[in-house]
Amino acid sequence: MQAQRDNVVSIHYVLRDTEGEVIDQSAEGQPLSYLHGHENIVPGLEKAIEGHAEGDEVRATVEPEEGYGPYREELVQKVNREAFQGVDELAPGMSFRAESDAGPMIVTIKEVEGDEVTVDGNHVLAGQTLDFTVNVAGIRPATDTEIEHGHVHDENHTHE
């Protein structure tokens, strides 16, 4: 069986930056399972895995446009500390869910100066070229429910 639309693909992966530093990886013995062809992983990686079979190793360099997108300066904004009601301590690196004109998004605090807080709505990997090494651990046909919902279900999955 090959990685193609409407198949559940399980992968072990290591993600490195262009300097070779590990950014992320799947946990030992716990492959990442996703529904192929449903935009569950970055487009460049999904394209690289397309057509591969269980046991294949895939190496892919994914440019920002096929990864987490280019870094967009307009997503960096200064907001008043009052926007963080109920949070006593604010520090760079903290992330929050925020409502925007485009819908909900995650913002990360870059800087806190008095009552002014600089937040960044870019994904932490936006603008970066990503180097993936992937081992295809398994492939199976998706269930009708998984296809309908657009993601993988496991025995603990519930929709509320």
Kindly report the CATH number assigned to the domain that includes residue 138.
Answer: 3.10.50.40
In a domain? residue 14? yes
46 and 92 housed in the same domain: no
pLDDT tens for 114-131 read 999 999 999 999 999 999
Secondary structure class of 101 (helix, strand, coil): coil
pLDDT band at 136, cuts 50/70/90?
Answer: very high
pLDDT band at 156, cuts 50/70/90?
Answer: low
Average pLDDT, the chain: 92
Number of domains, the chain? 2
* Cα separations in angstroms, 102 against 30, 98, 137: 34, 11, 36
Full residue range of the structural domain in which residue 50 is found: 7-68+126-149
In a domain? residue 158? no
What CATH number has the domain bearing residue 115?
Answer: 2.40.10.330
Q: What percent of the chain has pLDDT over 70?
A: 96
In a domain? residue 105? yes
Helices and strands in the chain: count of H runs, count of E runs: 2, 9
Query: What is the model's pLDDT at position 100?
Result: 78
